[in-house]
Structure 1
């Protein structure tokens, strides 16, 4: 393991093991349909995800792609819809993936093939979770991963989500939901929330160390 330098003693340096897996969750074309989902946040999410995928490829670390196959009527993520496909930048990097998981629920650990079984077989104890939506499948995957004992890192700026309505007229913006996810995961001890830049620094530092 290697570490990147960090002057903030309250935010310890990040360690990225050589076999830490990057889990890219649900980066599918259907999420580009604003008429279906509504306003989103973090327009830099896709560029940050691509940068992390490239860094993992360059350093030979394992990449896991997760794709949602919705069973809800009318969903843009249904298997027979164009939105089920990966976004182009993920499709272009798909050949470097070590595993492709298909799921119908929020958790990437409840799909096919079994992600936890694969990670165990590879001797992997740490994962980085990125993708869509921050407060849905990314957060759920990170929570379950933390419960299963994995060291989980979530670069919040490599995720995005959408405004959401709740009961009795309650609603939250995408930014507010992302903030809640960061607090839930980091404050709740499920995962360490960080940034794309810090992860890239850690990974590339490992190569030059």
Structure 2
């Protein structure tokens, strides 16, 4: 990262109470929420824009089904009144949400992404952001994922799924950095 623009937006993806449900399985990076809180504190102190992205599922068995506690933001990561909240129904936060328009209207060209799930909503949003011409950075220690079984039935540890997803992003779509590297620029 060359420098952090004064209007670089922090996108916090899907940090909702539903992410703590045991049915999602074993996860990696147990300190991700601490790192997200550190980023959020720095963004608030520097008066940079924060965007909280909330997933509202179309599937009744989802932990993000509307009207259920799982849809609510985690208490430590609650948006402040002046912070933007974007709702989405698919993994990519740019699809049918107005996010791109909101960012362009404010002249925001640099995005720092944290949240979940690394290989789902984080990756989908970072890919679109990169394709749309934003300078995207994904904060590797401020994201996490879960163990995943592939189509042949092999179980992949969350650590491997996370690492491969970040590697995919680093090829063409985003810079990948840790929280400490980002905070040096705040």
Q: Name the structure where helix makes up a greater proportion of residues.
A: 1
The alignment's TM-score, normalised by the length of structure 2, stands at 0.96
1:13-92 equivalence runs, <5 A = 14-34=2-22, 36-91=23-78
1:154-193 equivalence runs, <5 A = 154-186=138-170, 188-193=171-176
Contact 1:62 1:97 in 2 (8 A): no
Contact 1:57 1:96 in 2 (8 A): no
Gaps in structure 1 of 5+ consecutive residues: 1-12, 204-209
Structure showing greater Rg: 1
Q: By how many angstroms is 1:136 displaced?
A: 0.5
Structure 1 stretch displaced more, 164-173 or 14-23: 164-173
Q: Distance in 2 between matches of 1:118 and 1:95?
A: 17
Q: By how many angstroms is 1:111 displaced?
A: 4.2
The alignment's TM-score, normalised by the length of structure 1, stands at 0.86
Number of equivalent positions: 186
Q: Distance in 1 between matches of 2:55 and 2:62?
A: 11
Q: Distance in 2 between matches of 1:124 and 1:168?
A: 42
Superposed CA deviations along residues 177-196 of structure 1, whole A, max 9, x for unmatched, are: 1100111011x220000000
Q: Distance in 1 between matches of 2:57 and 2:63?
A: 8
Question: What SS is found at the alignment partner of 1:47?
Answer: helix
Q: Distance in 2 between matches of 1:48 and 1:98?
A: 19
Q: By how many angstroms is 1:96 displaced?
A: 5.4
Give the counterpart of 2:180 among 197, 202, 205.
197
Question: What SS is found at the alignment partner of 2:52?
Answer: strand
Gaps in structure 2 of 5+ consecutive residues: none
Question: What SS is found at the alignment partner of 1:54?
Answer: helix
Q: By how many angstroms is 1:97 displaced?
A: 4.7
Q: Distance in 2 between matches of 1:170 and 1:150?
A: 35
Question: What SS is found at the alignment partner of 2:58?
Answer: coil
